[in-house]
Chain A
Amino acid sequence: EDQVTQSPEALRLQEGESSSLNCSYTVSGLRGLFWYRQDPGKGPEFLFTLYSAGEEKEKERLKATLTKKESFLHITAPKPEDSATYLCAVQESDSWGKLQFGAGTQVVVTP
């Protein structure tokens, strides 16, 4: 069965302490990999789409990378406002439009 696995489940960082989140996936063919940010009580907020191995996208302190079997979300010098749950989702080649989500990584950044 296809799966999307995110690790770690939770991450506690000091402000300025850079770290990486992992999203590993097992699908027969990847159309796209998506990263979302979700704040408590809100819907997921779109961050990035990655389509092919080697691709990288950046937004402020976040940088997403993609290999053939996993993606990383790097948080550089995080601030408390980066605290959120980060969700990874994959879209299969033969499943146009359908996103399969991981369980997310809950990130807490303390001052």
Chain B
Amino acid sequence: EAGVVQSPRYKIIEKKQPVAFWCNPISGHNTLYWYRQNLGQGPELLIRYENEEAVDDSQLPKDRFSAERLKGVDSTLKIQPAELGDSAVYLCASSWLGMGHTEAFFGQGTRLTVV
């Protein structure tokens, strides 16, 4: 079974430019997460979707970050404009929240470098 797929794996952009990341979750998973991981730190939640609905976006910097999950499957995270401090690894994860199952499964991540 395919895991969580993210693209691109790496992205280098100049500051003030836009960037977008794409995620395809594990088939059948109803919950999708976007996390950001800085070097030497654990992942931090940016946004969580249950099906199509964003149920927790309290940590998403809404002035420059946006996300969508069309048809409750794939998701896109966008940054516009990017700042130097946005350099990090952006991780997508998915899970099936129900029947006692709560573990999330992660993709390989997108390493963003803003120069």
Contacts and interface: CB of A to CB of B under 8 A. Distances in A.
A42 B44 CA distance: 16
Interface range for B: 20 to 34
A108 B93 CA distance: 26
Interface residues of A, number: 24
Given A42-B109, A43-B108, A43-B109, A101 B102 contact: no
A71 interface: no
Contacts, number: 61
A91 B40 CA distance: 21
Given A31-B102, A91-B102, A103-B40, A98 B48 contact: yes
B45 A98 contact: yes
A43 B91 contact: yes
Interface of A: 4, 31-32, 34, 36, 41-46, 49, 87, 89, 91, 96-104
